[in-house]
Chain A
């Protein structure tokens, strides 16, 4: 099902089956080139598959933007241990709601991507870790796995090739931290979702301490298109070093919020105006969080840029998970900072002290500040605590909490000053 009208500016690669009658079914999938890429991959050498993915310039869609081909290439194929493909469907970065659509509308595309990854690294099984709230997706996936097993694409001796690859779904039970790769693996092993120290990285020692490929739903879902149309064709859709399209999730104060598949490098202002219909109520744009709530905020004047990993990094922010959160001129940025920190304080797993203590301290400070109880020295203190969390934790959650906070205090200091001395929020 689609929850918003598509845009005519979209370039549909991963979403091309969205809206087709019974799009999650294997019949629809097979009628639209489904599992053809896997048949092609069966005839390729593993290193050729990996080379094709490298050529595509696909960078991880979960948030970190690491090239998927490189990641697959790190798996020691010769290792005697079993190898696994794990899909991260724990989508929970605030502002992000795309993996849900990919599974809901085209589950077989994800399964085919996993099969291709399995061939490339010589894996023995695949797991899809789905956040607990997305129960209906587990039902869709289990049905799709059943269909694919019946048709001989999943399971033992696939299409008579001797390749065994069963796929299983696995539910989480409410934890943002489990979207972090090493915490996800702990959770998948039946433990509390706390991060592991790296190295070793999952490619060498992941699930059950075995070599593991761990990718986001959107990344893996791109593999069939890359093998079908060629890595170069996928790369050409985007900008240099940022291949393909991506699903942007536009939310907040726009006329037409929605998930839209656009080429990498699409201009952010154009995205807001032409794809999302502009700011609602004729208001002015104040700020944008370009890639989920972990990313530093951009002021309106900084938004004339290409939405790819490198351009965003150059602008001092991140492309992250593709969650574009748009805020109009009436938005109180102190309230935004407070709500974001409340989230991270709630979700900190407590494993690393700078994050556990820092997020709670900042939440208290920001809440007091927004309520009018802040003092001038608090403004500096907020930035100071946040900066002292950076790089001092096992996983990126500490940075994820600190980075947006630092940017909001620096870029909207005047709004913090306007809340001083018992003054209530005017927004």
Chain B
């Protein structure tokens, strides 16, 4: 299995970041960066990461099932993660999540039929002082109101 030249470079650099014989350390980063390119942790990716780090595919599977950001299911093109943990909850995070469900017509960990959007209610993302907050893929959005959320979605829909 091969990846884009950028990802191949990243993998090469990662495998050299740890002492010789400790390549297993690269497993979590390789899976996450690989998922970013493929859209999900595929069986082929698991095999490839196992081969390159010198461990068993089952040992990679064990890791995949532990980390909440590693997913075997394809996400939407725009993955929206809304925090409802305590700091966000106090200033409308839960209402924002409910609003997002209605706006997109999907629930927690669901994908719209056209594959454009997926939604997830997440735990603290480290934006507590600028709550309510969400992440659109890896980008942070702070002080999000339902109106701001609608504008964000409309802009994404227009951009395609």
A contact residues vs B (CB 8 Å cutoff): 3-4, 82, 91-97, 99-100, 127, 131-136, 168, 170-176, 187-193, 208, 249-253, 257-259, 289, 293, 323, 325, 327, 331, 335-336, 339-340, 343, 346-347, 349
Interface string of B53-95 (1 = CB under 8 A from A): 1010000001100111110000000000000111101110000
Nearest Cβ distance between residue B120 and chain A, in whole angstroms?
11
Interface residues of B in 1-51 (CB under 8 A from A): 17-19, 22, 24-29, 31-33
Whether the Cβ atoms of B131 and A131 lie closer than 8 Å is: no
Whether the Cβ atoms of A252 and B22 lie closer than 8 Å is: no
- Contacting chain A: which of B97-105, B106-114, B121-129, B144-152? B121-129
Whether the Cβ atoms of A340 and B138 lie closer than 8 Å is: no
Q: In the complex, what distance in Å separates the CA atom of A190 from the CA atom of B129?
A: 32
CB neighbours of A170 from chain B (8 A): 17, 25, 28-29
Q: In the complex, what distance in Å separates the CA atom of A318 from the CA atom of B70?
A: 33
Whether the Cβ atoms of B129 and A172 lie closer than 8 Å is: no
Q: In the complex, what distance in Å separates the CA atom of A257 from the CA atom of B142?
A: 12
- Beyond known contacts A173-B70, A176-B123, A252-B90: 17 more, CB 8 A cutoff: A3-B129, A95-B87, A95-B128, A96-B124, A136-B138, A136-B139, A172-B28, A175-B66, A190-B55, A192-B63, A250-B129, A251-B87, A323-B87, A327-B90, A339-B84, A340-B86, A343-B85
Known: A82-B19, A189-B22. A133 touches B125 (CB 8 A): yes
Q: In the complex, what distance in Å separates the CA atom of A173 from the CA atom of B32?
A: 7
Whether the Cβ atoms of B123 and A3 lie closer than 8 Å is: no
CB neighbours of A346 from chain B (8 A): 123
Nearest Cβ distance between residue B93 and chain A, in whole angstroms?
10
Whether the Cβ atoms of A190 and B26 lie closer than 8 Å is: yes
CB neighbours of A92 from chain B (8 A): 123-124, 126
- Select from chain B the residue with minimum beta-carbon distance to A327: B90
Closest 3 CB pairs of A and B: A174-B69, A174-B68, A190-B24
Nearest Cβ distance between residue B91 and chain A, in whole angstroms?
7
- Select from chain B the residue with minimum beta-carbon distance to A404: B86
- Select from chain B the residue with minimum beta-carbon distance to A335: B89
Q: In the complex, what distance in Å separates the CA atom of A212 from the CA atom of B68?
A: 27
CB neighbours of B135 from chain A (8 A): 133
Q: In the complex, what distance in Å separates the CA atom of A336 from the CA atom of B93?
A: 13
Nearest Cβ distance between residue B151 and chain A, in whole angstroms?
19
CB neighbours of A208 from chain B (8 A): 19, 22
Residue among A94, A131, A175 making CB contact with B85, cutoff 8 Å? A94
Q: In the complex, what distance in Å separates the CA atom of A335 from the CA atom of B93?
A: 13
Whether the Cβ atoms of A251 and B128 lie closer than 8 Å is: yes
Nearest Cβ distance between residue B124 and chain A, in whole angstroms?
4
* CB-defined A-B contacts under 8 Å, sample of 29: A82-B19, A91-B126, A92-B126, A94-B85, A94-B124, A95-B128, A99-B126, A132-B69, A133-B138, A171-B28, A172-B28, A173-B31, A175-B68, A190-B26, A193-B66, A208-B19, A208-B22, A249-B128, A249-B129, A251-B91, A252-B90, A257-B129, A293-B124, A325-B86, A327-B90, A339-B84, A339-B86, A339-B89, A346-B123
CB neighbours of B18 from chain A (8 A): 168
Residue among B90, B126, B138 making CB contact with A96, cutoff 8 Å? B126
Identify the interface centre among B32, B126, B129: most chain A CB within 10 Å of its CB: B129
Residue among B27, B126, B128 making CB contact with A190, cutoff 8 Å? B27
Q: In the complex, what distance in Å separates the CA atom of A131 from the CA atom of B69?
A: 10
Whether the Cβ atoms of A343 and B69 lie closer than 8 Å is: no
Residue among A97, A188, A253 making CB contact with B130, cutoff 8 Å? A97
Nearest Cβ distance between residue B139 and chain A, in whole angstroms?
8
Whether the Cβ atoms of B138 and A135 lie closer than 8 Å is: yes
- Select from chain B the residue with minimum beta-carbon distance to A82: B19
CB neighbours of A347 from chain B (8 A): 123
CB neighbours of A4 from chain B (8 A): 129-130
Known: A189-B22, A253-B90. A174 touches B67 (CB 8 A): yes
CB neighbours of B90 from chain A (8 A): 251-253, 325, 327, 331
Whether the Cβ atoms of B123 and A94 lie closer than 8 Å is: yes
Known: A251-B131, A252-B87, A253-B91. A175 touches B67 (CB 8 A): yes
Whether the Cβ atoms of A343 and B28 lie closer than 8 Å is: no
Nearest Cβ distance between residue A98 and chain B, in whole angstroms?
9
Whether the Cβ atoms of A174 and B63 lie closer than 8 Å is: no
- Select from chain A the residue with minimum beta-carbon distance to B67: A173
Identify the interface centre among A92, A257, A289, A293: most chain B CB within 10 Å of its CB: A257
